[in-house]
Structures are given as structure tokens and as C-alpha cells.
Amino acid sequence: MITIEISINLELIISFYLLFILGANNVANAIGTAYASRATTYRNLLILFSISVIIGSLFAKNVGSTVNSLSSDALTALIISALVMTLSTYKKVPISLHTVIICSLIGLNFNSSNLYVFGEILLSWILSPIIAVVIAYILYSAYEKIDISILKKITMIRYFLLISAAVVAFNLGSNDLPTVLGTFTTSQIIYIIGAIFLCLGAYLYGNRVSETLSMITNLSVSSAFIAQLSGGLAVTIFTALGMPVSTTQAIVGGILGVGLTKGIKTVRWKVLKNIIFWWVVAPIIALIIGFIINRMI
């Protein structure tokens, strides 16, 4: 008989809390467009989401190991992350969980080997949206060339909406989840339990999906799903390389890629500048907080 022992500690409680928030905040990103387009029922989408997250958690080891190699003081990093994420949600400032966790880990444990890994992660953060731009540009250009009837195109869009929802949910399990749990463990069983907490957040706060509905009705669904799918695929590439990257940042790259197919003038550079500003500032703040706490301890 196999006995699995899991000791409940503060790290586990905080990380499961973070995963719960992650699930609640990201379920709309994953299934919102598919739900608004009635690709299938909400119940089926939640099942697809859960299965994809749990399958993703089975491929979480790569990213988990990378994050784990940085970790020295997981508890402090998780407390900083939980506080910053709660504050940023309250203040509605778009900060990625990846950024906060990785930068606080680096700030807390500032040494040369960590800096090398941090350099690689930083490069992934820069490259993942760029790769998403390229994928979105190619996919959208190909999509525009498809010559089938409107009804068949709608059916095709619905298939791809389900695929892109599954890819984004898979990334939550294979990249976001090990970024949180990798701070203190590489245990597969903890990853699967974490995936269940993530799904629980999605089930209990799934009503946020309806909020995205009103937004999506004004959007071109084809542009939205191609941006989502491209972002998702870019993150999957980096998951395979073991790099923790943000799906949201990659999706922004996807949106830019779709926009570029319509010409460079259609891109709202002011909005993009604001987004990039937070991408640069947020890690610096997290690094400084981690570094100050490290010095104080």
C-alpha cells in the first residue's frame, strides 16, 4: 500500500490561497470568449478548463524546477506575493503573479547563480510576447485567406475557441501553478492538489465570466480567439523550456500581432506604452521589496 504524507504548513496554505485567486481571476481569460460565443455550455467549459488544468499540472515539473532553483526563502516570497497580488487586485493595477514571485525570490536571495537564471527568465519575459506577436500575425493572416461560407467559418471558430480555452487552461496548470508551488516543492502530488484548488477558485468565482461577456460582444471574436490562442501557444513553448512566463503578457503580444495584420497605424501605442511601463516597473518594485526584506532579516 502506498502512503502519501503531506505536511500542512504555512507555505502550503498561502500557495493554495494564491492558486485559488489565480483560478478565480483566470477562468474568464480561459473560457470567457468561448462562453460568450456559445461554443458549448458553461458546465462543459468548466469541465474542459478543469481537465486541461489538471493535465497541465502533470507537465509542471520543468517550470517548477526552475523556480525551485531560485528559492531560498519561499515563505517570505509567498507572503510578499500574496500581499502584492491582493493589493494590486484591490487597486486594479495589472501585475503578473509570475513577476512578483520570481522578482521577490531574486530580491530575497541575491547571488550570481540566481542572477544567471533570472537573466534567462527575463529573456523569456521579453521573448514570449514577441513570439506571440509572430504567431498571431501568421495565424490571423492565414485565417483571413480561408474561403469558406460564413456558417462553416463560425463552426470553425467555435472549434478553435475550445482549443484556445484548453491551451490557456493547460498553461495555468503547467506554468502558473508551478511558479507558485515551485517556490518550495517539486512534488507532483502537491501540484495535482494545487490544480484542484485552482479549479475550485474557478468554480466558486466563475461568475466573473459574465463580466467579460459585455466586453466580448463588442469585439471581433475571430481576433480575440487568435490573440488568445497565440498567447497560449507562446507560453506552451516556454513551459517546455521550463521558463515561468505570464499568459496575460503573451496574450497582449497576440493582440498586437492581430492588430499589426491591419497595419501598424491601427495599434494604440499609448495603451501599449502603459502596459509595457507596468511590465518594467512591477518587477523592479518586487525586486526592491525582496532585497530590502532580505537586508532587514
Partner 1 sequence: MDVITMSIFLFERDNEKSVIDNLRLLIQMSLKSIELLKDYMNSKDEKILKEIIKIEEEGDETTKNIRINLEKAFLPNMRRELSRSAELLDETLDSLKHAAMLYELLKEEFDEYLKNEIDLVLMITVDMFQHLDRVLDVIEKGGDLDPIIKEIKDKEKFIDDVYQNRIYKYLINLEVESFWEGKILCDFIDNIVNISDYIEDVADELHIIYLHTK
Return residues touching partner 1 (CB under 8 A).
36-38, 144, 147-157, 159, 213, 216-222
Compute the least distance from the CB of residue 154 to partner 1, in Å: 6
Compute the least distance from the CB of residue 37 to partner 1, in Å: 5
Q: Which of 36, 74 has the CB closer to partner 1?
A: 36
Please measure the distance between the N-terminal and C-terminal CA atoms of the chain and give it in whole angstroms. Answer: 44
Compute the least distance from the CB of residue 262 to partner 1, in Å: 11
Compute the least distance from the CB of residue 275 to partner 1, in Å: 24
Output the CA torsion 73→62→133→222 (10° steps): -110
Tell the burial category of 42 from Cβ atoms under 10 Å away from its Cβ (0-12, 13-18, 19+): middle
Q: Which residues contact 206 (CB under 8 A, 6 or more apart)?
A: 27, 42, 46
Q: Which of 207, 220 has the CB closer to partner 1?
A: 220
Q: Which of 96, 212 has the CB closer to partner 1?
A: 212
Compute the least distance from the CB of residue 268 to partner 1, in Å: 20
Q: Which of 113, 155 has the CB closer to partner 1?
A: 155
- CA 66 vs. chain centroid, Å, equals 16
- CA 39 vs. chain centroid, Å, equals 22
How far apart, in whole angstroms, are the C-alpha atoms of residue 40 and residue 137? 27
Q: Which of 93, 154 has the CB closer to partner 1?
A: 154
